[in-house]
Amino acid sequence: MTPLIYSTLIISLGIGTTLTFASTHWYLAWMGIEINTLAIIPLMTQSHSPRATEATTKYFFAQATASATLLFAATSNAFFTGSWDILQTNNPLTYTLMTLAMAMKIGLAPLHSWMPEVMQGLTLLTGLILSTWQKLAPFCLIYQIQPHSPNLFMALGLLSIVAGGWGGFNQVQLRKILAYSSIAHLGWMVLILSFSPPLTLVAFSTYLMMTFSLFYSFMMTKTTHINSLSTSWAKIPTLTALTPLILLSLGGLPPLTGFLPKWMILQELTKQDLALVAVLAALFSLFSLYFYLRLSYAMTLTMPPNNPAGTLPWRLNPSHNTLPP
């Protein structure tokens, strides 16, 4: 891919997200999301591998389904209310369809099954864009239509926390683990969205910062499998020493950064007389903490295979194997 085409696609990603951010009209917001989708599809296929093609096809079908549902819901809402304004989404049917369409776009459970499979077929850089930038525009729309149905958002949030934690249990591919981590963290944000939107923004900002740091660490050490984490010490020791702190922060262990948003969310749920929901969210988050600890263990407490004889010069250089005359 030439630099000109690559720059055009990156600029298109920015334009699409900015258009959705600045829109109060459903059609313009939908157009911004479509520009985003069309811009990232060539980035997904730049490795020209069958796995990347498969991931791109799955992503396209999932996003096309969500976009068609969103456009249908926006048109129906305009028919019922006479307005295309995003804030005038008062019809229960169209509101539910819009929420589910946005949930599919960002990968909320139970509409999340495409996310791990797509992430597995992408490079770490494209996966970073999919896990961070591509969630901004749909999340902006969810943020604007959120006040109408807290029960729907709580159900989506709890399901996402469970699916994100449970799905990452037996995974050995880092990209799939990062996908399930994204699903679980989005569940926390959606869970509190109806009660404290500013707290959702705090959790989302923290998630973006920690996810970017973790992807950057894996890109620098060129690791995509849990078995290769033990060899990252020999590549960049300083960065490898800091990565477990990022993982534990994502898991929400005190006194790290990721603990504060979760603690504030649990506190707000308790103030809203939703102690049972807070307890369930805290218990289900232990699933995610398990695979974060597993990755931290693989990076810090395991050693790579040590085979000095396999690296001796006489084994690597065939000319040394010949007998002298």
Chain length of the chain:
325
Q: What is the pTM of this model?
A: 0.88
Q: What does R_g of the chain's alpha carbons equal in angstroms? A: 22
* SS3 category, 149: coil
Contact 80, 94 (CB under 8 A): yes
pLDDT of residue 80: 87
- Main-chain dihedrals φ then ψ at residue 85, nearest 5 degrees: -70, 135
Q: What pLDDT does residue 311 have?
A: 45
- The closest alpha carbon to 175, from 222, 215, 120, 112, belongs to 120
Averaged pLDDT in 10-residue chunks for the chain of 325 residues: 88 93 90 93 88 92 94 91 84 88 92 92 92 92 79 92 90 91 94 90 93 91 85 76 89 89 93 92 90 87 55 48 45
DSSP string for 56-82: HHHHHHHHHHHHHHHHHHHHHHHHHHS
Q: What is the DSSP letter of 48?
A: -
Task: Give which of 72, 113, 112 is closest to 96, Cα–Cα.
Answer: 72
What is the structure's pLDDT at 170?
84
